[in-house]
Amino acid sequence: MNAMIRQDVHGVSLWHAVSRNRRDRGTLQGGLDVDLAIVGGGFSGLSTALHAAEKGLSVAVLEAEFLAWGATGRNAGFVVPNFAKRDPDDIIAELGPERGGRLVDFAAGSADLVFGLIKRHGIECDAVQNGWIQPAHSSAALEKTRSRAAKWAARGRPTVALDAMAVTELTGIDGYSGGWMDNSGGVLNPVEYARGLADAAEKAGARIFEQTRVTSIDRTPDGWALKTASGTVRAGKVLVATNAYGGELNPTLARTYIPLKVFQIATAPLSRAIRARLLPGGQGVGDTRRNLFTCRFDGQNRLISGGMHVVGAGAETRVPQTIWRRLARHLDLPDLPPLAYSWTGVAAVVPDFLPRLIDLGPGLIAGFACNGRGIAMTTAMGKVLADWASGTDARDLPLPFAAPSPIPLHSLVRYAPNMLLPWSILRDRLD
């Protein structure tokens, strides 16, 4: 294995290392008055900025580090237009046909929105909209994937159930009992996509500042004042789009989700011969295991995978190697090229796995649309938040909107996914 693995330093991921469209934005200096201030320069903040600026609002994005520094620049680049662990009918049963139906439709169209924006704004980000595949690891999971495909198809989505042979043909991977595919999903380079959204937002009139950490958000007679080390933004409305990286800005918000640390790796590029056998259509794969197996190629034929692990001493070197070995085993590739990049990110996971808007005060809102589906969901969330910024009542948006609901025993519960991982792996084997 390669001793020269490039690891997560100052937020560097594969995507930050290889992306071509970097442009520095300045730090906020002095005062600024806007209709909408956005805290956080990830997909949520940038998509909202783009859509709000296109509606004619004055918008400022304030990013503490640099654009895509958070989960946006550290993810795997799968564009997935559905919910982790939730199906349309159970959401409709829980939220009712009207609200549930709107949330389901919101998710259903989210990948088309992403690829549509990429086309409309000419964003070069190695985007491939050729489907997202969920192979089933057991016969119980196969039943679930069949019914999932049928439920999304019933809502007019381009989904298809796959038998074992179809999964092998599409992925080059043996051993699955079948699965399903949503043809509107796909893959992209998330940093290039985020930077493209930022360029488009600026073209539409938004102002974007980097190295500009918001230290406080205070109520004023006509809106809110956001303080940074070198300036103040006064805004009628504010979106907090800090996801799992919000730190101390709003401690209540930090207790509403589980911060899940996820490792990602990329191999050195694969030869053309192997590349032609594996995922010839360039789709993204994420299977049904609790200890999820994922893989995709990037634009330079590197294989990308990820996973969680019980975090402890030496995890930063141990876990990427475990993921690399799993990838080689799973793809039956003893000559898998060496590990070339590894990095980590933190995802915000909420107990019901549904995206949501959180009411933090009059005209002050936070948006969470992650649960591992953030690229498509946060992009779509940005579009509806632009409606909110221009006057639509938050209760009329397709996402659930409520006061913050901190998770009981959060300081313990937050470690549960890592602590329970060995149990999840065992259950995957027993399925």
Ligand X SMILES: Cc1cc2nc3c(=O)[nH]c(=O)nc-3n(C[C@H](O)[C@H](O)[C@H](O)COP(=O)(O)OP(=O)(O)OC[C@H]3O[C@@H](n4cnc5c(N)ncnc54)[C@H](O)[C@@H]3O)c2cc1C
Residue ranges that bind ligand X, judged by CB under 6 A: 39-45, 62-65, 69-72, 74-78, 80, 213-214, 241-247, 249, 262, 264, 306, 345-347, 370, 372-376, 378
Provide the token pair at 158.
């381009």
Least CB distance from residue 36 to ligand X, whole Å?
15
- For residues 177 and 243, which CB has a smaller minimum distance to ligand X in the complex? 243
Spatial distance between the Cα atoms of 189 and 126, rounded to a whole number of angstroms: 6
Q: Judged by CB, which is closer to ligand X: 70, or 172?
A: 70
Q: Which is nearer to ligand X, 264 or 288 (CB)?
A: 264
Q: How far is the CB of 149 from ligand X (least distance, A)?
A: 19
Nearest distance from C-beta of residue 143 to ligand X, angstroms: 25
Long-range pairs for 329-332: beta carbons < 8 A, 24 or more residues apart = 330/173, 330/293, 330/295, 331/172, 331/173, 331/278, 331/295, 331/303, 332/173, 332/174
Q: Which residues contact 391 (CB under 8 A, 6 or more apart)?
A: none
Task: Quote the least distance from Cβ 333 to ligand X, whole Å.
Answer: 21
Q: How far is the CB of 317 from ligand X (least distance, A)?
A: 17
**Between residues 145 and 189, which has the closer beta carbon with respect to ligand X?**
189
Residue 118 or residue 142: which is nearer to ligand X going by CB? 118
Strand, coil or helix: 4: coil
Report the residue number whose CB is nearest to ligand X.
374
One DSSP character per residue, 176-225 reads --EEEEETT-EE--HHHHHHHHHHHHHHTT-EEESS----EEEEETTEEE
User: Dihedral angle at the C-alpha atoms of 241, 247, 252, 257, nearest 10 degrees?
Assistant: 70
Each residue of 395-429: b (16+ CB within 10 Å) or e?
A: eebbbbbeeeeeeeeeeeebeebbeebeeebeebe
Q: What are the Cα distances from residue 65, in Å, to 231, 233, 242, 401?
A: 16, 17, 12, 28
Q: How far is the CB of 105 from ligand X (least distance, A)?
A: 18
Smallest distance from the beta carbon of 238 to ligand X, in angstroms?
Answer: 11
Contacts of 402 (CB under 8 A, 6+ apart): 356, 358, 359
Q: Which is nearer to ligand X, 39 or 59 (CB)?
A: 39
Nearer to ligand X among residue 307 and residue 337 (C-beta): 307
